[in-house]
Structures are given as C-alpha cells and as structure tokens.
Structure 1
Amino acid sequence: MTAAIQQALQQSPITFTTESAELSEKSKTALGEIAKAMQGNDVKIAVATHAGYPDAEKSKALSEKRAEAITAALEGAGVAKDRVKTEATGNEKAQGDKALDTQITVAQ
C-alpha cells in the first residue's frame, strides 16, 4: 500500500496553488489512484496539509479546507471517510512553497 501511495504521489504530487484549496486535475487523478489501491483492504491513510500564511489562524483555516478537499475527492472515489485521518497543520510545519505540498502516508 505504501508503495502504491508513493508511486501515485511521484507521478503527480498533491499540491495546491497559493491561497487555494482547489485540487488540480493531476491531483484528482493521483487521489483516484490512491483510492484504487485502498479497495479490498482496510488500510487507513494520514493526510497532512499546510498553508504558509504568516497569520496562524488564516493558515489553519486554509489547510483545513485543503484537507476537506482531499477527503471529499477520496470519498467520491469510494474511500470511506473514517479511513482518512487528516492533520491540517496550518503554518506550523511548512512555510513558503513547501506549504503548497501535501503528505499522504499509511496511518499507523
């Protein structure tokens, strides 16, 4: 499962444009591949989203919207919501261009 996630993310990382929670078509495709890999098993994934505003509250709100967009896309592809653990970190763990990237891993 980890390999399938990594392969999907290498082909198309889940990224956002500045000040946006809108998923690109490439990101939607990658999430579709991850959803396919999750069919027929009970693996859960962890999704960490970020936003790089200097304002902590604004960053937290945008990273939460990004997490919701990813969860909704996965749900639309057949993944139960309870199999997706989100961590909206705001600007706590990533700033600048790094805040546009999303990490997806197999949940422990």
Structure 2
Amino acid sequence: MESKMFTLTSFDDIAGIAQGVEITNPNMVERIRRAADSLNRHEIAAHLGQAITEATDAAHVRDFEEVQFGEASADAIVDCEYYEDLAAAWSLIASEHQLTIPHSIFAHDGSVH
C-alpha cells in the first residue's frame, strides 16, 4: 500500500508545500498571518514545529487505518488534510518572517536572556 505520510527532509520541502496553500485555503493563511503579527520568531517557529508534528501524527493515523482496515476513515482523511494545510500555512508565514532555514530561527535577535 502506498504511504501518504507527510514527510519532510528540509525546510525547502515545507516551502514547496506552502506555495499552494494560499490558493487552496486562503482563510487559514490570513488567520495565521494575523496571529503571527503579534508573535516573535521563536513563537512562530514553535507554531510551525507544532503544526508539523500534528500533520505527521495525522498522517500516521491515516496510514494505520489504511493498513488495518483497508481504508482510512473520513475523519482521519479530513484531519490529515487539515493538518497538512496548517503546516503549509505556518511554513508560509515562517518564510515570510525569514525563518526558512533552521539556524535563522535561533539567530541572536538582540535580546538578553
């Protein structure tokens, strides 16, 4: 059975997925863009990481159901698609904030901790 798992090997992969999300889910992108306006780069990176984790978890559930039952439930399919869109949207926002390479997330921002 072919896996539909959401797998990424680099931030470039996320950026590639993100290109279409503005067309397929513009309301989600705008909602996240507004939310990101009040976040710093570390918070945006955390949201992106969480979205990737959720997309991966949803893909695992979908794959499990397909293997176990021969097909995934409607809920698993919808969840997988939603979380993939969410990860793509956060990726787009992260790239707009120039967080497309890992070391830029941790770059010194002038604050003292």
- Greater RCO, CA 8 A, separation 6+: 2
Larger Rg: 2
Task: Report which of the two has the higher share of strand.
Answer: 1
Confirm or deny a common fold (TM above 0.5). Answer: no
Q: Structure 1 length normalisation: TM-score?
A: 0.34
Q: Structure 2 length normalisation: TM-score?
A: 0.33
Task: Report which of the two has the higher share of helix.
Answer: 2
